[in-house]
Structure 1
Amino acid sequence: MTDTSSATPITPQPPPPADETAAPHSPRELVTHVGRGLGTLTPRPRVSRPLIQELRHALTARDWWVLGALAEHRVLTTVQIARLAFDTDSAARHRMHTLHGLRAVDRFRPQTPVGSAPWHYVLDKAGAILLAERHGIALSEVPYRADDAIHLAFSRQLAHTVAVNDFFTTLAAAARHLPGAELELWWPERRCARAWGSLVKPDGYGVWRHYSTQVGFFAEIDLGTEPLDALVRKVAAYSRLAHTTGINTPVLFYLPGPRREYGLHQVLNDNARQVNGGGGARVLVATAIHRSGTDLAGPIWLPVGSDGTRLPLAQLPTAASILTTPCAQEWPQP
């Protein structure tokens, strides 16, 4: 055996020094990444009078509608915009790319552990200026902020906001392909807060029509992050609202899986007296499970306390009175 007692010990070498000339990635670069890399930032013109004039002449009726939808719903992905206003995803991508270049909209891609997220669009300054001009209001009254893209990209609420908008845009898309159907109303959380304050805090309120049948509903898009007790408290609040207003509006829970759905039905049935007590009215609660390609207007809604038969949205029992009157600032409805 070789004697190594006098051998010079091997010392690990330190890593090479970092490139001190490399600039850190800006927040803007980080929210335009593609997969695990970073996308190249596309230069865009500054907002100026000539640009505003160019955009004013370029906007179509559909473009105005899309800008209003972004003002109302804050952030929409390319797919969601396509569902609402275009015949194909490709057409939506091309038009939104043009509007982005004219500063009507801004966009970002949230970071994902695998692959890349779709473009998420928000209102940009030039679009907000023209919306304010069109509605005869001050720019400060338009729901727009200069750092919306970066703020939303790093927001903990982004996944939930996108999920809520995905629910309603999927329903709107179903209406485009179902004769006699229409999503007549879609209020986001902010508009609901102005209507009902702290009484209830739905993720959205909608009115679905199929021929002569109208169903108004509150939407609760559940990602499984809250305990079931929190959902029970929400239902109790809706029950109190029904008692106060005399309008018993169905509450739809869109759930992430069958176990979550079974658990919610169990806890609501076990706590029926608590949920509907205190002067509350028994409010209709129906649930459905999120699955890719689900027809939200179809027979997927399971009323709590029923015989287990799933119903189409239009067949859910609903109140005789349906809230359809706009409140506060009005933007185009999908």
Structure 2
Amino acid sequence: MPALPRPAIGPGSRYTARASTTRRRPARHTDVAALSRVLTARDLWLLRMLHEHRVLTTHQIASLAYTSIRSAQRRLRTLHQRGVLDSFRPLVQTGSAPEHYTLGASGVAVLASHSGCDLGDLGWRPSHTGRIAYSPSLGHDLGVNELLIRLTAHGRTTPEAGLSFWLSERSCARRWGDIIRPDAYAHWYEGEKLLPFFLEYDTGSQPLGHVEAKLTGYAAFATQAGHRPALLIHTRTASRDQALRRRLAPPARTLGLFLATASADFTASSPWGPWWGPLEPGDTRRTTLTGLATRWSRLGPASELEPSDADTALTLPVPPLPPVSEAEA
């Protein structure tokens, strides 16, 4: 069987997934009611995050919800042994990859019970983890999550700045799929400044013309007040970033988009920093996310964010950070 296509660099590059077989698992089905004695508010938050974003690594979970990688590993190992989480660990050419966590069978049952939904509403199957592990989009999905998790985790050490709202690609498609299909939607804040934005995470696999064709949909997306979120395009390399900027600058200006680009060559450690270059007439020098919010006065949050009668407990947005609890620190 030929190998599935993988990006040449970055998350998801050149690895073959294998199941995690070295950990003890429950010999029989776990009593879901019994788990209520041991699952914390942070554990339940993690289940919702995994349902929303499909897969998170140990390091990503630790940066959002734990004080150290070791404390995260201990708790995740316990949840894995109880069947609440499932996991796989990709094989890489050098070194070792972190554990990649997904929802386990018991975790899905707990999530359905806690949300008052039928088990079938979650769309989970026993092959869930395997499908994610071998998905050609795994590297892309991990890259999107890593970028937004870095923005979210920044708020743990800098309370006046961070990510206050985050929707996955699937949630975006459910709300706006007839117009646009971004890889994520989020709100960055710093003080009183707010940058609502759609994210296109570009891996370089699509022709430039395909990326350009998406701009028409984003231009059509405006609220009744005429405001719209920004569009951020994040690429893997500076050369791809420059190629996109040359191709997209004319249509972005014609359509009146609030569009900025950046690449992983600069954003790896501080994606909120001065790496984002706006595509508009005048000053195109790179600036911070907060600088973009200051520059674009007619930004506005997307529509259809408020809960409606069509929403269930499983479709409501998940807070990017877990509930604060001294007992869980």
TM category (shorter chain) comes to 0.7 to 0.9
- In 2, distance between residues paired with 1:319 and 1:262? 26
2:37 alignment partner, SS class: helix
Match of 2:260 in 1: 286
Q: Which residue in the other structure is 2:300 paired with?
A: 321
Q: Distance in 2 between matches of 1:110 and 1:249?
A: 36
Q: 2:81 aligns with which of 83, 86, 101?
A: 101
Partner SS state of residue 187, structure 1: strand
Q: Partner of 1:333 in structure 2?
A: 319
Structure 1: how far apart are the matches of 2:200 and 2:299?
A: 22
Mapped pair 1:151 → 2:127? no
Aligned to 2:278: 303
Alignment of 1:49-64 (within 5 A): 51-64=31-44
Structure 1 residue 72: deviation in Å? 1.0
Q: How much does 1:145 deviate?
A: 2.4
Give, in whole Å, the separation in 1 of the partners of 2:225 and 2:168: 21
CA apart distance, 1:56: 1.9
Asked if residue 172 in structure 1 is aligned to residue 147 in structure 2, the reply is no
What is the aligned partner in structure 2 of residue 88 from structure 1?
68
Q: How far did 1:298 drift?
A: 1.7
Letter in 2 for 1:322: P
Q: Give the Cα separation in 1 of the matches to 2:105 and 2:317.
A: 17
DSSP 3-state at the match of 1:264: helix
1:58-90 per-position Cα deviation (integer Å, ceiling 9, x unaligned): 111111111111111111111111121112112
- Contact 1:108/1:149 (<8 A) preserved: yes
Q: CA distance change for structure 1 residues 198 and 152 in 2, over 3 Å: closer, same or farther?
A: same
> CA, structure 1 residues 320+261, in 2 after alignment: closer, same or farther (shift >3 Å)?
closer
Q: Following the alignment from structure 1 to structure 2, what is the Cα–Cα distance between the partners of residues 285 and 237?
A: 13
Query: SS at 2:173's partner residue?
Result: helix
What is the alpha-carbon distance in structure 2 between the residues aligned to residue 332 and residue 47 of structure 1?
Answer: 31
Equivalent residue, structure 1, for 2:52: 72
> 1:1-334 maps to which residues of 2 (within 5 A)?
31-32=18-19, 40-46=21-27, 48=29, 51-242=31-222, 246-269=226-249, 271-272=250-251, 281-291=255-265, 293-305=268-280, 306-316=282-292, 317=296, 319-323=298-302, 324-326=305-307, 328=311, 329-330=315-316, 332-334=318-320
Deviates more, 1:254-263 or 1:312-321: 312-321
The SS at the match of 1:242 is coil
Check 1:134–1:290 CA distance in 2 against 1; reply closer, same or farther (3 A cut): same
Partners of 2:109 and 2:56 lie apart in 1 by 19
Q: Which runs of 4+ in 1 moved over 4 A?
A: none
Q: Distance in 2 between matches of 1:227 and 1:332?
A: 33
Whole-Å Cα distance in 1 between the matches of residues 45 and 94 of structure 2? 33
Counterpart residue identity of residue 318, structure 2: P
1:25 — aligned with what?
none
Structure-2 change in CA distance of 1:153 and 1:249 (3 Å)? same
* 1:211-233 deviation digits (Å, cap 9, x = unpaired): 21111000111111112111111
Consecutive unaligned residues in structure 2, runs of 5 or more: 1-15, 321-329
- For each residue in 1:165-221, what CA deviation from the matched residue of structure 2 results, as whole angstroms up to 9, or x when unmatched? 111111101122223123111000000001111311100000111121111000111
Residues 1:63 and 1:119: Cα distance change in structure 2 (over 3 Å): same
Alpha-carbon distance between aligned partners in 2 of 1:124 and 1:318, rounded to the nearest angstrom: 45
The secondary structure found in structure 2 opposite 1:115 is coil
**Aligned mates of 2:161, 2:209 — CA distance in 1:** 35
Give CA-to-partner distance per residue, 1:36-72, whole Å, 9 cap, x none. xxx65323114535x3244221111111111111111
Asked whether the equivalents of residues 55 and 104 of structure 1 are also in contact (C-alpha less than 8 Å), the reply is no
Query: CA 1:107–1:325 in structure 2 vs 1: closer, same or farther (change >3 Å)?
Result: same
Unaligned runs of 5+ in 1: 1-28, 33-38
- In structure 1, the partner of 2:9 is none
